[in-house]
Amino acid sequence: MPLFGTDGVRGLANGPLTADLALTLAQATAVVLGQGRTAEARKAAGKRLTAVVARDPRISGEFLAAAVSAGLASSGVDVLDAGVLPTPAAAFLIADRDADFGVMVSASHNPAPDNGIKIFARGGVKLPDVVEERIEHALTQPKLQPTGAEVGRISRFADAEDRYVVHLLASLPHALDGLHVVLDCAHGAASGVSPETFRDAGARVTVIGADPDGLNINDGVGSTHLDQLAEHVVRVGADVGIAHDGDADRCLAVDASGRIVDGDQIMAILAVAMKDRGHLTDDTLVATVMSNLGLHRAMEAHGIRVEQTAVGDRYVLERMNEGGFSLGGEQSGHVIMSEYATTGDGLLTGLHLVAEMARQGKTLAELAAVMTVYPQVLVNVKGVDRTRVDDAGVAEAVAAAEAELGDSGRVLLRASGTEQLVRVMVEASDALVAQEIADRLAEVVRERLAL
């Protein structure tokens, strides 16, 4: 099984993800990313390779980040230790300091016992599959072993947070003008920097989920658990609630009445605003096949084209980079604003969302009304042969369902990439219709693709 998943190396900390693996992975990364014309030019000019290392606050991040730093320094790489910061902050700082690469130790929205290692190339960009494969191959190959003055140094990146905050504030089209924002930081990497940044931007801030103890990250809080945030927004009479996940590369929101505003709605709001300001490249939004049909309808009404990709923010990023597009993301709240970031940034997204409220003088509910959310039903059909998802009988059933829905809905079947499971997704203007068709298709899949 490949070591790298869809977002780096992830697993149970001190289970499969050990200090030894972290150290060896860092050494292999130094071998692979320390090559190339830019790296060689640095060496020729007498400059040392440099990497930024950051982590989220889960307890295992302490020994894993230390192991990563040790592996890099033992390979002759100078390490800038940024401490606890969001993943998008690490990506920004790699570019800002012109570092050769960087490593983020985080398992994002996973529970505290898990952890992960995300590697970014020069410029703060995610690695393509071919480079990850080269790093994995290098795990069993000879490592760099400099001695004496050639070994790397590990130093504290003292102004890392300040650089990131200044960058975020400089991106804003409008101050937040006293809007009351409740922030849920998921007891994660944004617990310090997000409240500070929103206050500096002019918001009145109430904070929940910002007391990390290393064990409570994502525990009943954050973007995967929005109930507390919704209740708190209503209780204190706030204008909006913003939720991050553990490493703050996601942003979801709730309006003043506690209603959830998901990633599709956030993208719709930002896309229309960016088009109005002339910042939406080619009037195009990049979204995955799982984005709601209502997003497509809303964008069409505003003269905005939607480019679709496979599920996963890395595929959104790839398409954005290929086409030079400025906005993309996922329903889950990974929103990428390429004018300011190389990856999903929950703080950047939240700030720009609230800034639009202030700029237009509208509530979040009014802004979110740009898009009608179609009822979406997802049925996971387990114990089936996912390799035969294009079966003729299944295709016939899908075609019949699509004909029944017409322009008022859509059908999507997706085979899992890791288990014998097929996901049946149906959208329709009526929730009962969506459920009935999804159940019917799931039964066809169950019968036709039985193992």
At 344-363, the pLDDT tens digits run 999 999 999 999 999 999 99
> For the CA atoms of 289, 294, 295, 300, what is the dihedral angle to 10 degrees?
110
| Higher pLDDT among residues 44 and 289, named by residue | 289
What's residue 296's pLDDT?
A: 95
Give the number of other Cβ atoms within 10 Å of residue 225's Cβ.
17
User: Do 122 and 198 fall within a single domain?
Assistant: no
What pLDDT was estimated at residue 318? 92
Compute CA distances 279 → 176, 196, 212, 325, whole Å: 20, 27, 37, 10
Same domain, 133 and 95: yes
Residues in the chain: 451
How far is Cα 212 from Cα 192, in angstroms, rounded to an integer?
A: 10
Identify the DSSP state of 127.
P
- Mean pLDDT along residues 252-256: 98
CATH of the domain at 393: 3.30.310.50
Do 307 and 171 share a structural domain?
Answer: yes
First to last CA, the chain: 22
Give a yes or no: residue 285 inside a domain. Answer: yes
Give the start-end residues of each E strand in 89-143: 101-105, 114-121, 125-126
429 residue type, one letter = S
Domain assignment present for 4: no
pTM of the model: 0.92
pLDDT at 364: 98
Contact 329, 267 (CB under 8 A): yes
Q: Are strands 50-55 and 9-12 parallel, antiparallel or unpaired?
A: unpaired
Coil vs helix vs strand at 136:
helix
The b-or-e profile of 180-194 (16+ CB within 10 A means b, else e) is bbbbbbbbbbbbbbb
Does residue 192 lie in a domain region? yes
Strands 260-261 and 284-288: unpaired
Tell me the one-letter amino acid at 427: E
Q: How far apart are CA 215 and CA 60, in angstroms?
A: 9
Query: Into how many domains does the chain fold?
Result: 3
pLDDT at 155: 98
| Last residue within a domain, chosen from 158, 178, 197 | 158
The dihedral formed by the CA atoms of 88, 93, 94 and 97, expressed in degrees to the nearest 10: 170
Backbone angle region of 331, left / alpha / beta, with phi > 0 → left and psi within -120 to 50 → alpha: alpha
Q: Which residues pair with 286 in a beta bridge?
A: 307, 328
- The CATH number of the domain where 343 resides is what? 3.40.120.10
Which range has the worst mean pLDDT, 16-25, 218-227, 285-294, 307-316? 307-316
What pLDDT, on the 0 to 100 scale, is given for residue 103? 98
Give every CB contact of residue 256 below 8 A, 6+ residues apart in sequence.
233, 234, 237, 238, 239, 240, 363, 364, 365
Average of per-residue pLDDT across 216-240: 97
> Are residue 130 and residue 168 in the same domain, yes or no?
no
Q: Is there a domain that residue 316 lies in? A: yes
Is residue 249 annotated as involved in ligand binding?
yes
Please check if 385 is assigned to a binding site. Answer: no
Helix (H, G, I), strand (E, B) or coil at 212: coil
Residue 37 has pLDDT above 70, yes or no: no
Distance, CA of 301 to chain centre: 27
Whether residues 191 and 152 share a domain: the answer is no
Q: What is the DSSP letter of 88?
A: H
Domain co-membership, 78 together with 209 = no
pLDDT digits (tens, 9 = 90+) for 159-185: 999 999 999 999 999 999 989 999 999
What is the Cα 58 distance to its own chain's centre?
18
Task: Assess if residue 1 is contained within a domain.
Answer: no
What integer best gives the mean pLDDT of the chain? Answer: 95
> Catalytic residue among 108, 223, 326, 332, which?
108
> Does residue 243 sit in the same domain as residue 359?
yes
191 is catalytic: no
Token pair of 156 as six digits: 């504290």
Write out pLDDT tens, residues 80-138: 999 999 999 999 999 999 999 999 999 999 999 999 999 999 999 999 889 999 999 99
Domain-embedded: residue 171: yes
Task: Tell me the C-alpha distance between 25 and 314, whole Å.
Answer: 21
| Residue 430 counted as an annotated binding residue | no
Beta carbons within 10 angstroms of residue 378's beta carbon: 14
Q: Determine, yes or no, domain membership for 415.
A: yes
Residue at which a domain ends, from 368, 388, 421: 368
Residues 292, 418, single domain; the answer is no
| 72/111 same-domain check | yes
Q: Is 313 annotated in some ligand binding site? A: no
Here the tokens at position 384 are 């089936």
Same-domain status, 286 and 230: yes
Average pLDDT over residues 376-390: 92
Domain co-membership, 112 together with 38:
yes
Residue 69 falls inside a structural domain: yes
> Where among 142, 158, 174 does a domain terminate?
158
Which among 161, 129, 189, 169 has a CA at the least distance from the CA of 317?
Answer: 129
Per-residue pLDDT for 206 more than 70?
A: yes
Range of the domain at 347: 163-368
Helical H segments across 308-449, by residue range: 313-323, 346-360, 364-368, 392-405, 431-448
Give yes or no: residues 128 and 148 share one domain: yes
Q: Is the pLDDT of residue 222 over 90?
A: yes
> What burial letters (b/e) apply to 380-404, b meaning 16+ CB within 10 Å?
ebeebebebbebeebeebbeebeee
The more confidently predicted of residues 284 and 314 is: 284
Lowest-confidence segment of 336-345, 388-397, 417-426, 433-442 by average pLDDT = 417-426
**Residue 2: band (very low, low, confident or very high) from pLDDT cuts 50, 70, 90:** confident
Cα distances (Å, whole numbers) of residue 286 to 277, 302, 328, 343, 408: 18, 15, 4, 13, 22
- Using an 8 Å Cβ cutoff, are 189 and 247 in contact? yes
pLDDT at 363: 98
